[in-house]
Amino acid sequence: MNRYWNDNRDLVGDPLGDPAVTEIAARYGKTPAQVVLRWHLEHGLSAIPKSVRPHRIAENFDVFDFALAADEVAAIDAIDTGVRGGPDPDVVGPGYFG
């Protein structure tokens, strides 16, 4: 799941606006971003949230007081569009970014 877009942002869609995510967020009284961060944790993935705003940084840490149910995780898993948001890991290597 990513929030990187090429020239066709509308085609990919924003996972934070997906109904599955927004409904789960409302259920737990969390933001969609917190739900997506929690989804990463449920999968044992490393999430690297980024913000310079103190209230957003605090929100990013406030994801340990709830857990997603299996059906909620599955609903978010189903959002996958198959579109990569970054470089292909098979071609990234020394010198790739200059």
Residues 24-38: tens digit of each pLDDT? 999 999 999 999 999
Query: 55, 63, 17, 19: which is closest to 38 by C-alpha?
Result: 63
Name the residue among 57, 66, 58 with its Cα closest to residue 29. Answer: 66
* pLDDT beyond 50 at 1: no
| AA letter at 20 | A
Separation of alpha carbons 67 and 9, rounded Å: 30
Name 35's Cβ contacts closer than 8 Å, sequence gap at least 6.
Answer: 21, 24, 25, 28, 68, 76
For the chain, the structural domain boundaries read: 32-80
Query: 3 pLDDT exceeds 90?
Result: no
Residue 6 has pLDDT above 60, yes or no: no
pLDDT averaged over the chain?
A: 85
Task: State the pTM of this model.
Answer: 0.76
Residue of higher predicted confidence among 9 and 39: 39
Residue with the larger pLDDT of the pair 63 and 7: 63
Q: What 3-state class would DSSP assign to 43?
A: coil
